[in-house]
Structure 1
């Protein structure tokens, strides 16, 4: 015999397909936070809990860790591209957005550096495409004669700064990133996410 739940124990009604986009956005935001706090090896169950969804919902949107990582990286790159597309954007402003994402997503920087050396990650080809998109966005604002104008120098500088983005807190990672840009002689605008 099945017992009916007591009214206080009833679950809220299932919002159905309308919740899919909201759940996906919550999972990406949660992944960014959990990865920043605990690194890429953090359990996916922690991400589901932070997003306040079940693990089944996580796996419906992202079949594996690489797919979830790619979604967060894609969101980062889209914001850099949006910042570069803004009419008033200059190189310093776009670098400020890029630096915010570096400090916010330090765990992904580690992933990209490690996988580029080992060459065994399914996300590596996608990461290379994203890197090219970041370079194009930055180059749109690189003035003639800029110290990073030579082929390869711009992304080498980004790699050098990303290598310096370490530390236990977001503030420490941002401080180190800004110090690295300063040592390279590159001006960076306010470090913040892009807001349309």
Structure 2
């Protein structure tokens, strides 16, 4: 039997605004997954399709790519800031490892921060990252765990260098191998102490 307008059809009813929270959550989940798999410039229609929503729904929640990326990666920064609050001198090494893990797992996070710096002067992600690193670095230096010659700008330079390795590696496993070699070869310099 061919369904007509009078025939019951097995379809989920449009719940309108009641589905807004679920739709937003599905969009963010899909965005995190596709940004990680395909990079920051993955088509937004692919994210909408992955989330099971129409493009109009995606754009109602996130009119711009950067807004979507900020929301998708906010938990990266929140996790980083939470860890930075640990007063242990070893926190700095753990922050560095987390930053590398996030970069290997989600290189799009770094792409988003770089693009945000150029496009959205109000974005405070890099400032938040600097503040978190600075407090942990200061404690590590006071404990003698990290050289006094290292500063936050040097850490962020090392991070950008690591991103270059990650962005050009054929796979995450090869990215980790290359990062380990790079930091091992820098054993006499400041980068070696960052690795913890």
- TM-score bracket, normalised by the shorter chain, equals 0.7 to 0.9
- Structure number with the higher helix fraction is 2
Equivalent residue number for residue 149 of structure 1:
150
Normalising by structure 1, report the TM-score.
0.74
Aligned-partner Cα distance in 1 for 2:15–2:177 = 43
| Secondary structure of 2:192 counterpart | coil
Equivalence map 1:26-175=2 (5 Å):
26-86=26-86, 90-113=91-114, 115=115, 121-123=118-120, 125-127=121-123, 129-142=124-137, 143-144=140-141, 146-147=146-147, 149-150=150-151, 152-166=153-167, 167-175=169-177
Q: Which consecutive unaligned segments of at least 5 residues does structure 1 have?
A: 190-196
Normalising by structure 2, report the TM-score.
0.74
Which protein is bigger by CA-based radius of gyration? 2
Judged with a 3 Å threshold, the aligned counterparts in structure 2 of structure 1 residues 87 and 21 are, in CA distance, closer, same or farther, namely: farther
Kept in 2: contact 1:28–1:71 (CA 8 A): yes
C-alpha deviation, 1:20, in angstroms: 2.5
Judged with a 3 Å threshold, the aligned counterparts in structure 2 of structure 1 residues 58 and 172 are, in CA distance, closer, same or farther, namely: farther
Give the count of matched residue pairs. 181
C-alpha deviation, 1:176, in angstroms: 3.5
C-alpha deviation, 1:24, in angstroms: 1.9
Judged with a 3 Å threshold, the aligned counterparts in structure 2 of structure 1 residues 87 and 131 are, in CA distance, closer, same or farther, namely: same
Encode CA deviations 1:73-93: one digit per residue, 9 max, x unaligned.
Answer: 333211211222246671222
Aligned-partner Cα distance in 2 for 1:181–1:22 = 43
Judged with a 3 Å threshold, the aligned counterparts in structure 2 of structure 1 residues 110 and 179 are, in CA distance, closer, same or farther, namely: farther
C-alpha deviation, 1:134, in angstroms: 1.0
Kept in 1: contact 2:76–2:102 (CA 8 A): yes
Over the residues paired in the alignment, what is the CA RMSD in angstroms? 3.0
Task: Identify which of structures 1 and 2 has the higher relative contact order when contacts are C-alpha pairs closer than 8 Å and 6+ apart.
Answer: 1
C-alpha deviation, 1:58, in angstroms: 0.7
Encode CA deviations 1:17-64: one digit per residue, 9 max, x unaligned.
Answer: 453333223222211221232223321110011112221211111002
Judged with a 3 Å threshold, the aligned counterparts in structure 2 of structure 1 residues 39 and 150 are, in CA distance, closer, same or farther, namely: closer
